[in-house]
Structure 1
Amino acid sequence: MVGMATAENFVLAIGTKKGLWLATSQDRREWSFTGPHFLMAEIPSVGIDTRGGRTRIMVGVRSEHWGPTVAHSDDLGATWSEPEQGAIRFPEDTGAAVERVWQIYPDAESRPGVVWAGAEPISVWKSTDGGEHFELNRGLWDHPHRSDWGAGYGGAAAHSIVVDPAGDTVHIAMSTGGVYRSLDGGASWEPRNKGISAYFMPDPNPEFGQCVHKIAADSAVEGRLYAQNHHGVYRTDDNADTWTSIADGLPADFGFVMLTHPRREGTAWVVPLKADGERIPPDGDLAVHRTDDAGGSWKRLSKGLPGKEYNSVLRDAASGDTAEPAGVYFGTRGGTVYASADEGETFTEVIAHLPDVLCVRAAVVAGA
């Protein structure tokens, strides 16, 4: 079992406004840190690829001087590499430039070397060499809806990528635009937002234009996904053809985080915030909420968290691992990171006083 694993078999990556911190642990309670890596550069995205017995950490780096790129390390951050011309660049005919890499998503074990990325301006990219070079997905970039996609509060971002490990279905979510689905591996895309509200638009139920904050797939039920919206929490059981609300039982339906269990059906975590105009935990009481019945009910989890906390948790500042029991991790805009080794029942403080936490990623990097 994972509980008998050798030393330093968990890795935790924390991307902030001013650099990257890496931590390793044997028990998910005591952590050893290195960093900051890329000091003074923004790190909005991290991907940890453990396929094929290798641990590769990929980071979206945004320098105010050099611009954005993707760098990678195969030795837990001791050294970093990136192509001389940059890992991710728009083709010249697009007339566009990458502003920020919002998401790095290693594909399934069955597709070694394939890594997806989501970026600003709204775009999706694919690598076949382990994240060293990315190519623009022209099917989405040339989509007729693109000129009508707007920017969310943080920018125009393709921020969520969910790939079917056994097929060619890919779902993405963007702010703003909503959920789009491809059934042919990304060659073509169609909006899939029926049931998700866009109350802030003249038509609250448009085909696209929703500000979906994050999506995640149920690992045990084919065709089931969950979405945290700009007000609204939803589930689909038909591969995003239709969505239904599962917000009942939550103290608020606004937030950014959506995590799902690596194995168990119907289990997901959210971190509610009061509202779009008051982006703080409800009543200043920070808590994670977990459902074990696909949104039928929610359990409040706050043991080990501070009594009062007025900083929010951003969409990618939360992660899970694949251990048993599953770990849950998140960081706040106040620079504190918390970890749970028991699926959220209890949390411990990992580190505090970091810059604004933008991204948290965790992985099991060694077996028993």
Structure 2
Amino acid sequence: MARVLALIGTTKGAFVLESDAARRIWDIRGPFCDCWPIRHVVADASAPGGAALYAGGGDRWLGAGVWRSDDLGASWARCGGTPAFEEGAAEPVGAIWSLFAAEGALYAGVSPAALFVSRDGGESWTHLDGLQKHPTRPGWFGGGAGLILHAIHAEGAEIWVGASAVGVFHSADAGETWTARNVGVRNDYMSPEQQGAETGYCVHALARAAGPGLRFYQQNHCGMYRSDDGGARWESIEAGLPSGFGFPVAAHPRDPDTAWLAPLNGDQAGRFMQDGACAVWRTRDAGASWVALREGLPQRHFYAAPLRRAMAVDALDPAGVYLGFNSGALWASADEGDRWTCVAQHLPTILSVETLLAP
């Protein structure tokens, strides 16, 4: 029977939650990674000998760090290498903000926004500096968390990244060259003459949809979007939602038309869920309509919020959905969001959630 692991990054280390396929009782392990701020924990299911887990984080005081576990999170060791800019860079790497493992490569998004890759399990890193050479780079500016690269998806030679408050970029040649992909996304704070600019869009999260196409879902500071062509053009799908503002988004592991998000009440009204009532919103038709899922979730005086990487799904059938909050609580649904249970409380601020199915 499969084991389900929820991989949690927090402000005080990494945690691993484990359950069986029923997903009713969860064991909690941690904190790991020397209690550093861990912004993202991911699994590389293709690692030789079984799945490897990686955790990345740091801050401006500690610098950047990456840890690895080869025993599904029972023990962790810091990797021998750390992403670093070339000598003479204007500022050093401040922290690891995102990780992505695929096809023998481990990618790391850092602050200030840049992308690195390791092909030896984190022992050495190469700066994919083509992104820094993009002609718009001198005009990039950070969002509330700074200038960060927090979303990565790679398939073969194609790579997509998201950076705040810059936008989405795509490379078709393994990171040598990049194009901005923000057509159709709006920035409510731009002047009329700035609308339609190549960059300047505060993407909060990206989710790759299942299936052979190139569908992505995007939660932005200014709206919710879907692209059916790898980000070349984006379409607003926020109609029917209480707000276009939120942080995480997750896509179904098999159905490209199903996605979940957790909209807040706007960026200027407290940044909590509408009326203090917790809800996860699900679409079954690629964003044409949305349904609020509330069963089991707090409906009065709930003012916690999920951050940009704090939602994930597992690959079971029905899919499990997981949502972490800055209050340190993790809520889970074993039936695609119809019913929810709090499976962990009083953790440090949850920064990210990912999943892994293990034998």
SS at match of 2:210: coil
- Per-residue deviation, 1:130: 3.1
Q: State how far apart, in whole Å, the 2-side matches of 1:221 and 1:283 are.
A: 39
Partner in structure 2 of residue 263 of structure 1: 254
> Against the structure 1 CA distance between its residues 131 and 293, is the aligned structure 2 distance closer, same or farther, given a 3 Å change threshold?
farther
After the TM superposition, which residues 283-362 of structure 1 pair with which residues of structure 2 at under 5 Å, given as runs? 283-308=275-300, 309-362=302-355
CA apart distance, 1:63: 5.9
Match of 2:76 in 1: 80
Structure 1 residue identity aligned to 2:33 = F
Task: Specify the code of the residue in structure 1 equivalent to 2:305.
Answer: S
Residue 180 of structure 1 pairs with residue 169 of structure 2: yes
SS of structure 1 residue aligned to 2:275:
helix
Counterparts of 1:81 and 1:96, CA distance in 2: 27
Q: CA deviation at 1:223?
A: 2.1
CA distance in 2, matches of 1:130, 1:22: 20
Partners of 2:63 and 2:170 lie apart in 1 by: 30
**Which of the residues 54, 58, 61 maps onto 1:58?**
54
Equivalent-residue separation in structure 1 for 2:195 and 2:203 (angstroms): 13
Q: Deviations over 1:118-174 (max 9, x none)?
A: 11110011121233432111111222221211111011111111223xx42221111
Q: What is the Cα-based RMSD across aligned positions, in Å?
A: 1.6
TM-score (norm 1): 0.91
CA contact (8 A) 1:114 1:131 kept: no
Give the counterpart of 1:247 among 238, 245, 248: 238
The equivalent of 2:356 in structure 1 is 363
Partner of 1:216: 207
Matches of 2:228 and 2:206, distance apart in 1: 13
Amino acid at match of 1:18: K
1:204 aligns with 2:223: no
Q: Distance in 2 between matches of 1:45 and 1:211?
A: 19
Percent identity, aligned pairs only?
A: 39
Q: Which moved more, 1:13-22 or 1:225-234?
A: 13-22
Which amino acid letter does the alignment assign opposite residue 172 of structure 2? L
Aligned residue number for residue 230 of structure 1: 221
Matches within 5 A, 1:105-116: 105-107=100-102, 111=103, 113-116=104-107
Matched length: 353
Structure 2 regions of 5+ residues with no counterpart? none
Contact kept in structure 2, 1:72 and 1:132, CA below 8 Å: no
Q: Measure how far apart 1:365 and its partner are.
A: 1.4
Contact 2:32/2:76 (8 A) holds in 1: no
Shift of 1:24: 1.1
Distance in 2 of aligned mates of 1:191 and 1:65: 32
How far residue 91 of structure 1 moved from its aligned partner, in angstroms, is 2.2
For structure 1, list consecutive stretches of 5 or more residues without a partner in the other structure: none
What TM-score comes out, normalization by structure 2 length?
0.94
Q: Deviations over 1:255-299 (max 9, x none)?
A: 011111111121111100011112100111111111111101111
Take 2:217 and 2:59, find their aligned partners in 1: how far apart are those partners? 33
